[in-house]
Amino acid sequence: MKRKYKTDSIKELLIDVAEFRDARNWKQFHNPKDLAISISLEAAELLEVFQWTGADTEADTEKKLAKIKEELADVLIYALLLGDNLDLDISEIIADKLDKNNQKYPAEKAYGKADKYTAYIEKTDEEKQE
């Protein structure tokens, strides 16, 4: 059976998501606040996969992976809807953010390190003496 929804393009994904939304007349309920809340709630559902699992940090069971897929899809769907609601170009805002992150985390300094970006900022001679 051919799947109804299957694409790799962000713009095509948004078309599918908007088609789903519009077939139910749900756009009327979507505003930036409620979409942002929905992203956060779905991200919290994603965290539930790991709640009370102690030192277990992996997605190492079929059950966990299935739940992760569902909740990650929910987060991404709401993210696409928020982008649509605010008329944002998702590819452009990701590219812009990657540019900023490249400035904050130069690969030659951050390679293999998990430090906060402030660890990579050059201090002035004055700041070094403080």
Q: Which amino acid is at 112?
A: G
Please identify, among the stretches 39-47, 56-64, 94-102, 108-116, the one whose residues bind Mg ion according to the rule CB under 5 A.
39-47
Rounded Cα distance between 56 and 105, Å, is 29
34 binds Mg ion (CB under 5 A): no
Size of the site for Mg ion (CB under 5 A): 4
Nearer to Mg ion, 73 or 98 (CB): 73
Residues 64-93 that bind Mg ion (CB under 5 A): 71, 74
- Are 80 and 92 in contact by the 8 Å Cβ rule? The answer is no
Looking at the Cβ atoms of 42 and 84, the one nearer to Mg ion is 42
What does the alpha-carbon distance between residue 102 and residue 97 come to, in Å, rounded to a whole number?
A: 8
